Structures are given as C-alpha cells and as structure tokens.
Structure 1
Amino acid sequence: MTDPVADWWGTAVSRIEPNRVELRGIPVQDLIGTIGFGAMIWLMLRGERPTDQQAHLLEAALVAGVDHGPHAPSIAVARMAATCGVGLNNAMASAINTLGDSHGGAGQECVLLLDEIRELEAAGSKLTDATDEVIAAWRERGIRYLPGFGHRFHTRDPRRDPLLELVDRAVTERIVEGGHLRAARAVEAALAPVPMNIDGATAVIYAELGFPAPLARGLFVLSRSVGILAHAWEETGQGRRNKGPIPPSVLPTYLG
C-alpha cells in the first residue's frame, strides 16, 4: 500500500534518511574520493556507473564547453550581474537563465538534427540522401543556420578537432557505435566549407553516449556554469559597480 505523503516526491535518484545518504542506491561514503565528477554526473542521470572510457569522453565534452569569454552572453551577464552586488548565486542564476534556444540550445537542436538523419538511414535511405533530405526540411522551416555548424567568431572552432579525434578513437575501441558521428560529418560535407563547431562536436559525444537531446542542453549548462562562476568571482574581486553592457562613452543609437 502506497503512502500518498511519502510518494509526493518519490524518487530513485537519492535516498535520504537520518544518518543515511544514498545516491542511486550507493552510500555516499562509498562515492566520496572514489568517483570523478563526470562519472558522478553520469551516475545521477543514468542510474549506473559509466566505464572509465565513457566517463573520459563525457568529461572531454564538459571541459570543452566551460568558457568562451565575455563574447558569450552568459559570461557577459555573469560579470555584469556581479557588479550589481547581487552575490554569486544570483550572478550565476542570471547567467544560466540566458542559456536558451539561441545561446546554449544548439547542442540539443543538433542532436535532434542528427537523430532525424539516423532515422531515415534506419528506414533504408543512403546517408547522403538522408542528410540532404533533413537539411532541406530544416531549411524549409526557415532555419538559416543549422545548429552545430559554423561559428560567428571562429573560422574553425579549435575545440572541434580534439573532440572528434576522441570520438574516432572511441568508435575504433567500440566504446560508441559511431552513427551520430557519421551523420555529423555528412552534414559538414554537405555544408562545406562551413565546419562543425563545439555544439556539433559535443552533440555527437552526448548522442553517441546515449544521452537524449534535452540532456545535451542540460549538460552544456553544467559545463558553462564553471566558466560563469569563474567570471562572476573574478568580476566581484575587481570592485567595479554597475558595469553595464557597453562602456559609458558609447551611447546607444536612438531609434525614435
């Protein structure tokens, strides 16, 4: 017989009782000092421990997305909020809340793009035909920039190659299957000379590791939170106040 009160927040993620803390069924004292943070993220999301190779690949993606400087809205907002005296928690929350569809959501969208290609492949289409069909469908929806490809700042994202090299190695070692990697490279070939960017490369990793598309965004949020914290903390220590988004010597264009 169920207890409607105890079932209110029923969860398999954690078990908390007096003198007892279990995470995914494992006593926390058995995890402290024995598991890395990337593997801990995997355990909490998936309910099982990753292999060392899976954890290494996940951590590589998380490391790659940590920071992209004040060019990124999330980092700029973190620094600006910190100068308003709101404290680290509010500065971080303000920055994280900017990670929406246009900034932070490309990884999730890229996984969905690659999933569509793989579905057509599974139905019997050739990879190139499936790629062309999906790209055309996305273009018809008015999507000008395909998520995960091209970059407004880099002609070639320096994070792309090392990430894809790790995926290539993981495919060779049969850690991942490689279908999403093949689909991403097919899109890149179709869009040439526009290269894959970090959102595309990390989308490949998350998808190859079996994370559904929404978690590609969630994992990016975890990754970028590290850079957000570092920038907010640095700005807090510089003692500046109300440092707005543009220097005071630059007046916004009046459109009236």
Structure 2
Amino acid sequence: MSSIDTSGHASGPAPDGLPGHEPEDKRVDTSGDRPRGQPDDVGQPTRDPRVSDWWTTSIIEMSPGVIRYRGHAIQDLIGNVSFAQMIWLMTRGELPGAGQARLLDAALMAAVDHGPQAPSIAIARMAATCGVGLNNAMASALNVLGDVHGGAGEQAVEMFRAIAARQDGGLSLADAVAAGLDEAIAARGKFVSGFGHRFHPVDPRAPRLLALVDEAAREGGVSGRFAAIARAVEDELATRKSGRRIPMNIDGATAVIYAELGFPAPLARGLFCLSRSVGILAHAWEQTQQGGRNKGPMPRDYLWTYDGPAPIA
C-alpha cells in the first residue's frame, strides 16, 4: 500500500485498478488546465434555478471563453464601438445611431470638470492629500453628487418631460411651460434646475450643446422638441424677472440632450456621475503627484467665523 505524507500527496505508487487510480501509462496530467482543487465544471451554467435565478440580467452573458453584452460578442465590440456607444448599449439595450452617439458623447465630454470651484473636484483633491488611493479619492468625490450638486440634470429632464406631457394633454407651449415652472418651483424652491450659474453669466458649454441638438434635429436624428421647451423655459423666466435673462447652464443643456435621446430622468444623474468622474480622476491624480498633506478647504492662515458662546472663565 502507498503511504500518505503530511502534505496529502501519495509518496508511493498506488496499485493499478484501485478506484480513482489508473496505471501510470494511462494517466493524463491536467494540472495545468485549472487551479488545484477546482472542479471540472467550474463556470459552467447551472440548471438549478435556485442558483441560476439568484441574479437575472439581460446585460451580460458569460461562460468560459464567452462574453456577450446585450447579445454582442465582446471581440466584435472591441475596436468597433466607442465608449459612449458602449454606455448606450449597456443602459439602453441596443447600439445607438451615429448621430445619437455624437450627441451623447458631446454631453458626457462637456461636463467632465469645473475645477475646484465644484465641491466634488475640491473633495477629490483634499482626499488625495490624506494618504488614500485614487479609488478612495474618487469615491469620496462621487458621493457628494446629490440633489444640489449633480442632480440638476435629472431634475431638468423631469421638468422638461412634465411640460411635454402637458402639451400632449392639449396645452399650448407657453401655458405648459408656465405650469411646469410653477410645479418645479413649488417642489424645489426658487432655483430652477438647469438655469442660471453662480460663476458664469453665460455658461459657455450650453450654447454649443444646443447648437449640436439643432444640427441633429435638422438631420432628423432627434425631434428638437425638448430644445424648444428649454428655450421657452428660459423665455418664461426672463418674463418673470422683468426681462433679466437666466441662461441655461450645463445641466439644462445636457438635460435637453438626454431628453431628446430618450434617457429616463434618473439616468441623467448617473450619466453626469460618469462624466464628472473623469475630472475627479484627473484632479485626484494631479494632486497625488503634487503631494501635500491634509489640505483642507481653506489655507491654514485663514480661520472660519466662530459664532458660539464667549469664552467661559
């Protein structure tokens, strides 16, 4: 009989014919085919619904040697599909047309960064001085993209769609815009999502994006309906402000594009997060290269205003 050493491997040959053993000349070494201890059927689809239905997805199909996104083999997509097209495929289930992809790409590119004036960018840089990795700095920054900073695009899409629904119900564009504005202000206060900017008198990104929408509408790629609604909102705001215009900003312009392209409103926020993550990564990396330790939101020579109790004797 063969003896077993403490490593668990046989130290001598096993007799031919024992269960689980074959003569030496009939054995096939498959140790290089899979990690030690891994069963032969690892990764094979299971037919047990208690396992296979634990997660159900139409996004990706995967088995050994096979990766398909929405039915498209990965090797057919690589080198033939842009990142913007891939985002569309993953979120919408189909590949976009060329004009649709150009508009989506423009919206994503336009919102990548706004400097440390933007809280998300400032947080990325501050986090990078705290000794964390790029992923931590990025996560810290992305986590502040909420209703106030980052959510305006989603809210603008909701408003534009609500106005369109009122038009479909029989209201004129002017009446639908007035009612939609009233509803948005009642829900969120005097700041109208997608309009006005605390830094730019005119946001230089918005006119260019709207020009691209107009071009796509002339070519039949989009309807142009939501661009008209957004411009009507801008006109109505000017009327209510006695002629003082509150121009559309990046959130309003990208909301026009996302609405024209048929994206649901919540995806507008997700797409903004994808876009802004590029700037967040760039700033976190630059700050990492520059160095610095524990940089806060203001230089250390400046102190905040204290409005608490007087010193207690």
Q: 2:62 aligns with which of 8, 12, 16?
A: 16
Q: 1:214 aligns with which of 266, 272, 287?
A: 266
Residue 227, structure 1, aligned to residue 279, structure 2 = yes
1:138 Cα deviation after fit:
2.5
Q: 2:190 aligns with which of 129, 136, 144?
A: 144
Counterpart in 2 of 1:164?
210
Select between 128-137 and 159-168 the one with higher mean Cα deviation. Answer: 128-137
* CA deviation string 1:81-138 (max 9, x = no partner): 0110110000000000010000000000000111111011000000001111111222
Greater helix percent: which structure? 1
User: Equivalent residue of 1:4, what SS?
Assistant: helix
Q: 1:130 aligns with which of 167, 173, 176?
A: 176
Residue 243, structure 1, aligned to residue 284, structure 2 = no
CA distance in 1, matches of 2:154, 2:195: 13
Aligned pairs, how many?
256
Same amino acid, percent of matched pairs: 59
Partner amino acid for 1:102? V
CA distance in 2, matches of 1:153, 1:74: 16
User: Equivalent residue of 1:176, what SS?
Assistant: coil
* CA deviation string 1:185-214 (max 9, x = no partner): 110111121100000000000010000000
CA distance in 1, matches of 2:81, 2:183: 43
Partner amino acid for 1:104? G
TM norm structure 2: 0.80
CA distance in 2, matches of 1:163, 1:176: 13
Residue 118, structure 1, aligned to residue 164, structure 2 = yes
Residue 196, structure 1, aligned to residue 222, structure 2 = no
Larger radius of gyration: 2
Q: CA RMSD in A?
A: 1.1
CA distance in 1, matches of 2:50, 2:306: 59
Partner amino acid for 2:228? R
* CA deviation string 1:204-225 (max 9, x = no partner): 0001000000000000000000
* CA deviation string 1:33-90 (max 9, x = no partner): 1111100100111111111111001000000000000000000000000110110000
Residue 49, structure 1, aligned to residue 95, structure 2 = yes
CA distance in 2, matches of 1:109, 1:142: 9
